A and B are shown apart, each in its own frame.
Chain A
Amino acid sequence: MSLPATLTELQRAIAGGELSAAQAWQLQRERRASLDARWHCLSEPLEGQLAQAASSGPLAGIGLAHKDNFDTWGRSPGCGAGPGRSDPGRPAAWAIEQLRQAGAGHLGALVMAEHACGATSANAHFERCINPLHPEAVVGGSSSGSAVAVAGGLAYGALGTDTAGSVRIPAATCGLVGLKTTQGLIPTQGLSPLAPSLDTIGVLARTVADAAELLKPLAPTLKPSPNTAPQLRAWIPGDWLHAEVARVLGELSSELGAQPVDLQADHQHLSSLADVVLHGEVAQLQRAALLAGRLSAPVQALALPGLLMPPPWLPSALAVRCAELRRFCQTHLPAGSVLLMPALPHPVPDWQTVHPGQSGFVVRELLALHRCMGLINYLGLPALVLPIAKDSRGLPISVQLVGRPFHEHELLAVAAQLQERRFGSAGFKPGWHLLATEN
């Protein structure tokens, strides 16, 4: 008996009686250890009764695994700094509990960049995560284990968190669909904060349909959009995109008849504001530990600039946020439209280029991973990354779709059409399940 490649295929197999939810769950648990030995994505397997998949519910028998910055039943998360801590009586985070009530099982807490501070999987506390698509390719962060577990066949989907691209960057490096939801759509109760004004929960999945299934219990009140054919607009910055990425995005834009827009000035301005909020809020939360010299290097890297920024920067950046959002929507994202823009400006780099401390480390390559991300967090908008082509090494080149607030379904509808057009319903890698079982 074998497991199918995608979450929605497994749902159909269980509904059709090809295998029971219990059998599916058992098969997923049996392969968990061998897959983790291969990809190094698990921080800690979960075994308690509440982590088991149910036999009924829309996600019955489905094995998920989640970034280790969510509370789980009786456990405080390790947040990428080590294993979690037993904490009897602690309830699970709201999002984790919603997935349990839908029938999903929780296979384990996943490796992440320490305290969600990092655009890659670099983490001194754990073995390096392996990108299932290519062993030399970087795994983006900070939800690095989430991307590897889903791409490597360990889990059918995963929660991540996105403060400055931490769902979208790992998804883009591993050929996955990564959905960052509208700020506030999914309650962050039970999530360890990084920068509360920007922190957002998102999902990583192998296909658009899988991502849509995961979103249902997480956003039960979100109404499907009646507009399945929004007007498409495209921003393709000519001067700092890698030629291969620019060509792929240019061809896609022409193919779809998207209206070109120029975000260059706003991109720079809004990214600066996003940086101010990110560094400022991390510094506020970590001030005591930073001044005492107790912060680890990755957290210190984010907190130091915030501590040293002039104090008016943070309140000023927050004060103009509503006005900036209204202006952005009015100018670039009117009602009924979806914006296409780059996800990563360069092809997926090798890990040694972007892991600090390696001889080949290039700081600007690391910063490039963030370049198209932070402004979206500042604006609080939903965004979805999706692979649309393969580069010369067979690694994904992804596009980022940005929608108006609470228009996740519109993004999913556009993404489903793009995925079907480029790779078919199986997504970027039809053999996800083979990656999981080959020796």
Chain B
Amino acid sequence: MHPLPHSKPDPDDLSVWVERGLALRAGPVDPAEVQRQLKHLRRLEPSARLAVATAGVAARADIPVQDFGACLRDLA
């Protein structure tokens, strides 16, 4: 089992979360360990403000979700 490091990650960097996920791959899966890691990670959950800044998009409810298939066809 590979416990997660206890240092606080940079919440701006999604790769931190990805690497933490990958680190879990090295050992067998133990449900209790998963719960412990979930609890640990939740405490570190970045704020929505920082998160949105990271993704570089505005988290606005008024952005219409367009039909992506139609968009692809338009650009063919």
Contacts and interface: CB of A to CB of B under 8 A. Distances in A.
A313 B52 contact: yes
B24 A300 contact: yes
B14 A272 contact: yes
Contacts of B30: 293
21 contacts: A273-B56, A290-B34, A293-B31, A293-B35, A295-B29, A300-B29, A304-B38, A308-B38, A310-B51, A313-B55, A316-B63, A320-B57, A320-B63, A322-B68, A322-B71, A366-B22, A367-B18, A380-B68, A405-B73, A405-B75, A406-B73
A305 to B, nearest CB: 4
Contacts of B8: none
A301 B21 contact: yes
A310 B48 contact: yes
A318 interface: yes
Interface residues of B, number: 49
Contact of B69 (A183, A308, A319, A326): A183
Given A300-B25, A363-B23, 14 more contacts: A184-B69, A273-B57, A275-B18, A292-B31, A297-B26, A301-B25, A310-B47, A315-B65, A316-B59, A317-B57, A329-B75, A357-B26, A406-B72, A407-B76
A309 to B, nearest CB: 7
Contacts of A32: none
A275 B37 contact: no
A356 B22 CA distance: 8
B14 A305 contact: yes
A325 B76 CA distance: 12
A242 interface: no
Contacts of A361: 26
Nearest to A278: B18
Interface of A: 122, 182-184, 197, 269, 272-273, 275-276, 279, 290-298, 300-305, 307-310, 312-313, 315-322, 325-326, 329, 356-357, 361, 363, 366-367, 380, 404-407
A300 B65 CA distance: 28
A293 B69 contact: no
The interface centre, meaning the residue of A294, A305, A329 with most chain B CB atoms within 10 A of its CB, is A305
B66 interface: yes
Contact of A309 (B24, B51, B71): B51
Contacts of A322: 66-68, 71
Given A304-B20, A405-B75, A313 B51 contact: yes
B29 to A, nearest CB: 5
The interface centre, meaning the residue of B14, B22, B56 with most chain A CB atoms within 10 A of its CB, is B22
A139 B21 CA distance: 21
Interface of B: 14-15, 17-32, 34-35, 37-38, 41-42, 45-48, 51-52, 54-60, 63-69, 71-73, 75-76
B17 A305 contact: yes
Contact of A276 (B14, B58, B64, B69): B14
A322 B27 CA distance: 39
Given A276-B14, A310-B48, A316-B55, A297 B68 contact: no
A356 B58 CA distance: 35
A325 B69 CA distance: 11
A321 B15 CA distance: 21
B59 A312 contact: yes
The interface centre, meaning the residue of A273, A310, A318, A326 with most chain B CB atoms within 10 A of its CB, is A310
The interface centre, meaning the residue of B19, B64, B68, B72 with most chain A CB atoms within 10 A of its CB, is B72
Contacts of B54: 272
A357 to B, nearest CB: 4
A279 B17 contact: yes
Contact of A313 (B19, B32, B59, B73): B59
A292 B31 CA distance: 7
Contact of B55 (A183, A273, A302): A273
A165 B37 CA distance: 28
A315 B15 CA distance: 20
B22 to A, nearest CB: 5
A305 B46 CA distance: 12
Contacts of B26: 297, 356-357, 361
Given A356-B22, A405-B73, A272 B68 contact: no
Given A293-B31, A304-B41, A305-B20, A183 B72 contact: yes
B17 A363 contact: no
Contacts of A296: 29
Given A293-B34, A301-B24, A321-B68, A308 B41 contact: yes
Contacts of B18: 275, 279, 305, 367
Contacts of A310: 45-48, 51-52
B63 A363 contact: no
B52 to A, nearest CB: 6
